[in-house]
Amino acid sequence: MAFSSTIDTRTHAMGNMLMMTGTFNAASVATGTIDLSETLSKIFACGVTGDTFGDVTGGGVDGAFAIVTDANPNKIVLDCVASNTGSWWALGQR
């Protein structure tokens, strides 16, 4: 299996910014990328919430975290324990 994600089509507009949400499934992998380049030119902030029961310590141990790299300012890189599932959010510029 591979990393998969969904993007909710009901975005929230705040001036020239959009709040986007969705879900992820890290089946058999510990990292994945959520590509928002079709909608956002830059992500200002993002986050992830795991819904797997064992997510209690934090990213890299038994939780999940999300980052945006300088090389890809409109993509979220998610790092978690393999087989985690959950939801994500991103606030960015259109």
Determine the pLDDT at residue 62: 66
- Find all residues with CB under 8 Å of 52, minimum gap 6, and list them: 81, 83, 84, 85, 86
Calculate mean pLDDT across residues 33-58.
83
Determine the pLDDT at residue 34: 93
Q: Judge whether residue 87 has pLDDT over 80.
A: yes
Determine the pLDDT at residue 23: 92
pTM summary value = 0.79
Distance between CA atoms of residues 75 and 70, nearest Å: 10
Of 90 and 53, the structure prediction assigns the larger pLDDT to 90
Query: At 5, is the pLDDT very low, low, confident or very high (cuts 50, 70, 90)?
Result: confident
Supply the CATH classification number for the domain 3-93: 2.60.40
